[in-house]
Structure 1
Amino acid sequence: MDLYQHFRKEEYPFIDQVLSWREEVTTRYQHRLTDFLHPREQKIFETVIGNDEELQLSFFGGWNQAERKRAVLAPYYEEVCESTFEMDLLQATFPQKFVSIEHRDVLGAFLSAGIKRKKIGDIVIHNDTIQIVVAKDITGYLITNVTSIKKATVTFVSVSMQERLPSQDKWQSHTATCASLRLDVMLKEMYQMSRQQAVTLIKKGLVKVNFQTIEESAYLLEEEDLISIRGKGRSRITELQGRTKKDKIRVVFEKLL
């Protein structure tokens, strides 16, 4: 059976990468540590490796419900522990009375410092405290080079993973029935807008599916897809419950509050 037929064309390069990692671990008998992967990449990784009894695949992102995680692919007999994932938890505080800092501000500051997104895990902001998980090999660089966010001076320090704050994300579940899983149709239902509004947002490049900009209204969504619209938040499909008597698709999805 052709492995690729189960995936979208734009996902083929990542599948090739996973196959390369599998070959490397199988022939060299050494584990392979990846950068941070988003949920769709994690799903693809799991599917490609399957039930290979010679290998073990583990994920860790710092938090129990972390969205982005590093993966370790290792021979079945190798011990994999938290330290194998080589990540640090960085923390900083800011004057909450004078400046409001959001997730995008923190991420923007890190990317402006020349750090690639794949080196950064989840970000949690609670009251005046920022925490972010990063690959250990960039910790020193980040502490030295990220000293301000918006108009606030910040000093990041490395803290124990045991000090991590709970995620502040809250998702609300909804159920809808849709004629199809086309992107424009789903946006209409999930964001309570007209289909023409959805098409316009897609054509303007404001819609992402699994962190990739999609400009095709007819793009078909799947279970576990993460959708985001610039300025309108994020949502994700959690379950496809089959068809109704009127031949519509019953979809369970969540929206980030």
Structure 2
Amino acid sequence: MDKSKLLDRVSGDREDRLLLAKVLDRAEQTRNRSIPTYTDFLSPQQQMLAVDLLRLAGIGETSYTVLGGYGGAERNILLFLPEWMEAADAQTQSPIRLLRASFRPEFHLTHRDFLGSLMGMGIVREKVGDILVGKEHCDLAVLDTVAEFLLQNWDSAGRAKLQVAAIEPVELQVPEAACEMIRDTVSSLRLDAVVSTGFKMARGKAVALIESGKVQVNWRECTKPDKLVEAETVVSARGLGKFELTEVGGVTRKGRISIVVKRYI
């Protein structure tokens, strides 16, 4: 299957198509020149699309590794490995640098403050991985192409002054995600029923939201309200955030299914 047909099979819009074309170019560069190459940071949805594309192109999962700067990262790069390179050696070829931006705690900076500051400096989102904000500092993963620039020039976010330094992976601090646990019963494990619980909305609104194409199940778009979901499924919706169906319990006397949802806030 040629490149254009591959992209037609996977990409949903022009922006996705351009990104996936770059992913395929990196994979071909590694194969043709026998050198390691890597993508920019990809969102979870973009990662899923990239994996689908590579599978269709006959590029197996042993041909690349996923790196985000730490285990469990949400935003990651794909590092393509030439045949002479072992997966265990991937870290030595990683282009990811970890930075810490320290600030005075009374400023109460947020993820939006840091992202806005970076964008204001001309740093595009694709060059930055996860942004982990604590009470007195923000740890973040960036590509080495922008790391030195940030170390030398990044001095403020919002109204706060920053002290920026490089850190090692063992120094990285991942804050605990803010979330709420929701216990409920549903008539079935249909997506619309679970979305109604997870986003606290009427069932009819959940159906409309799903059919509009704004809902993703495990980072893949789903427009079918009757899709059945199971425990450990992650559901996200544009503008509403995400939740995880963490537990599916037994059936109540009234024939309803007990569930537990972890909603990230």
Judge same fold: TM > 0.5, yes or no. Answer: yes
Cα offset for 1:130?
A: 1.2
What residue is the counterpart of 2:93 in the other structure?
A: 84
Say if 1:137 and 1:129 are closer, same or farther in 2 by CA, change over 3 A. Answer: same
Check if 1:57 corresponds to 2:53: no
What residue is the counterpart of 1:35 in the other structure?
A: 40
Cα offset for 1:194?
A: 3.1
C-alpha separation in 1, matches of 2:127 and 2:203: 37
After the TM superposition, which of the residue ranges 133-142 and 5-14 deviates more from structure 2?
5-14
Give TM-score scaled by structure 1 length. Answer: 0.72
Say if 1:55 and 1:229 are closer, same or farther in 2 by CA, change over 3 A. Answer: closer
C-alpha separation in 2, matches of 1:83 and 1:153: 33
CA RMSD in angstroms comes to: 4.3
What residue is the counterpart of 1:243 in the other structure?
A: none
Contact 2:10-2:52 at 8 Å conserved across structures: no
What residue is the counterpart of 2:74 in the other structure?
A: 67
C-alpha separation in 1, matches of 2:169 and 2:195: 37
Say if 1:35 and 1:186 are closer, same or farther in 2 by CA, change over 3 A. Answer: same
C-alpha separation in 2, matches of 1:61 and 1:131: 13
- 1:219-234 equivalence runs, <5 A: 219-220=223-224, 227-230=236-239, 232-234=240-242
Instruction: Point out where structure 2 has 5 or more consecutive residues left out of the alignment.
Output: 249-257
Say if 1:251 and 1:229 are closer, same or farther in 2 by CA, change over 3 A. Answer: farther
**Residues 114-135 of structure 1: per-residue CA shift (max 9 Å, x gap):** 1100100111122212111111
Number of residues paired by the alignment?
Answer: 241
- 1:1-257 equivalence runs, <5 A: 7=10, 9-10=12-13, 11-50=16-55, 52=59, 56-79=63-86, 80-96=89-105, 98-169=106-177, 181=191, 187-194=195-202, 219-220=223-224, 227-230=236-239, 232-235=240-243, 254-257=262-265
Say if 1:83 and 1:177 are closer, same or farther in 2 by CA, change over 3 A. Answer: farther
Contact 2:235-2:244 at 8 Å conserved across structures: yes
**Residues 190-211 of structure 1: per-residue CA shift (max 9 Å, x gap):** 2112367669999xxxx6869x
Instruction: Point out where structure 1 has 5 or more consecutive residues left out of the alignment.
Output: 241-249
Cα offset for 1:8?
A: 5.6
Contact 1:170-1:256 at 8 Å conserved across structures: yes
C-alpha separation in 2, matches of 1:225 and 1:16: 27
C-alpha separation in 1, matches of 2:190 and 2:6: 25
Partner SS state of residue 37, structure 1: coil
Partner SS state of residue 71, structure 2: coil
C-alpha separation in 1, matches of 2:93 and 2:24: 21
C-alpha separation in 2, matches of 1:55 and 1:65: 19
Say if 1:25 and 1:171 are closer, same or farther in 2 by CA, change over 3 A. Answer: farther
